[in-house]
Amino acid sequence: MAARTLCIGLIPGDGIGREVIPAGRRILEALPASLGLKFSFVNLEAGFETFQKTGAALPDKTVETLQKECDGALFGAVSSPTVQTKGYSSPIVALRKRLQLYANVRPVKSITTSISPVDLVIVRENTEDLYVKEEKTYNTPDGKVAEAIKRISEKASFNIAAMAGDIALTRQRIRDSGAESIHKSPMVTITHKSNVLSQTDGLFRETSRKALSQEKYKSIKIDEQIVDSMVYKLFREPSTYDVIVAPNLYGDILSDGAAALVGSLGLVPSANVGEDFVIGEPCHGSAPDIQGQGIANPIATIRSTALMLEFQGQEEAAALIYKAVDANLEEGKLLTPDMGGKAKTEEVIEDILRRL
C-alpha cells in the first residue's frame, strides 16, 4: 500500500516559535516508514513580526494555503504588543475563527514517576465568550466606561461538550487496553459561573448537560464545578479530574494554570480542532527574554505535533512520539532551564529523536 502524504503548514510566528516549530518537522520526518506516512511542508507567516513587516498579522495567503493545500498545521507563538496597536489583532484567534476550529484541547500530564500523578485534559470552547472581541469605550459624567460582549451559543456549547465526551471515551479505551498506568473512571467536569451569569453560563451548563446525556456517553460520570472553586480544587486535587470542559475565558485561565502542576508551560501541548482541520500549538508564549539563546523547551511543540496526528486519526504515530518524550522526561538528564536543567533546545530534540 502506498504511503499517505500529509501536507503540514508550518507557522513559527514570533520569538521562540521560530526555534521550536522546526522540532515538530524533524519529529514527523523521523517517524518510522512502517507507519505508512509521508509528509510535505509549507512555510507560512503570521504574527506580530509579520504585522510590522506587512501590516497584516494573518496574511490572506496563509489562510488560503491552509484551506487549499494543507491537512493540518503547527503554530509556534505570538508576541502581542503591550499597548493598543491600531490594526493588530491576534492571528491565532483569527485562525480559529476562519478555519472554524471550535475546540482547544490541552492535555496536562505529569511523568509516570511523579508522586502525585496528573493526567487530565482541558477542552475549551474556542470561538465565543468574551473572545468575540466586541468591545466599546464611551464617556460618562463619571469618566470612561468600557464594555465587552460575552457570547455563548447553544450550538457551540453542545459541540464542545460532545467533544469532551468523545475524548473521555477515547481516554477510557486507552486505559482499558492497559496502555496507561494511571487508572480512573471516565468523567467530564463542566466548569461555569452560572450562579452569577445565569443566562450565558447558565446556557453553557444546561447545553453541556444535554449534550452529555446522549446514550453513547452513558458510561461517563458528569460533574460540574463553579470556576473559582474549580481553580482551588484543580491545584489541591488534580488527580481527581479526567476531562474538564469550559467556555473560552475560563478554559484559557485553567489551561495555563494547570501547566504549573507539571512544572512548566514548556511541556504542555494543545490542538485547535475543527470538523476537518487541526492546528497543533504549544501553550507557551513567544518568550522574548530567552529568544536566540537556544534554551527554549521544545517538548510542548513535539507533544503538540503528536496531538495533531492524534486528531488526524494517526494514533499509532502519536503514541510513538508521546512514548519518546515521556522517556526523556522520566530519565531527567536532559532538561531545559525552565525545568531546572541546563540542556539546550537541540540536545533535547536529539535525545527524543534517538528514542523515537
Mean pLDDT of the chain: 91
Spatial neighbors of 260 by CB under 8 A, at least 6 apart, are: 235
The reply to whether 50 falls in a domain is: yes
The reply to whether 296 falls in a domain is: yes
Spatial neighbors of 268 by CB under 8 A, at least 6 apart, are: 106, 107, 108, 255, 258, 259, 262, 282, 283, 284, 300, 303
Task: Give 230-281 pLDDT, tens digit per residue.
Answer: 999 999 999 899 999 999 999 999 988 888 888 778 889 999 999 889 999 9
Q: Kindly report the CATH number assigned to the domain that includes residue 38.
A: 3.40.718.10
pTM of the complete model beyond 0.75: yes
What is the Cβ-side half-sphere exposure of residue 183, based on CA atoms within 13 angstroms?
3
Whether the Cβ atoms of residue 110 and residue 262 lie closer than 8 Å to each other: yes
Domain residue limits at 331: 1-101+274-356
Whether residue 178 is predicted with pLDDT greater than 70 in this model: the reply is no
The reply to whether 46 falls in a domain is: yes
The reply to whether 12 falls in a domain is: yes
Distance CA 244, CA 214 (A): 18
Report, in this order, helix, strand and coil percent for the chain, each rounded to 5: 45, 20, 35
The cell for 78 is 505570538
| Angle at alpha carbon of residue 170, lines to 165 and 175, rounded to 5° | 125
| pLDDT for the residue 315 | 86
The reply to whether 208 falls in a domain is: no
**More confident of the two residues 87 and 43:** 43
The reply to whether 151 falls in a domain is: no
Task: Give 72-116 pLDDT, tens digit per residue.
Answer: 999 999 988 777 788 888 899 889 989 999 999 999 988 755 556
Whether residue 134 is predicted with pLDDT greater than 80 in this model: the reply is yes
| pLDDT for the residue 42 | 97
26-35, 107-116, 254-263, 315-324: range with lowest mean pLDDT: 107-116
Distance CA 281, CA 268 (A): 9
The cell for 230 is 474549580
Torsion angle, alpha carbons of 18, 20, 22, 25, to 10 = -140
The reply to whether 257 falls in a domain is: no
Q: What domain count does the chain have?
A: 1
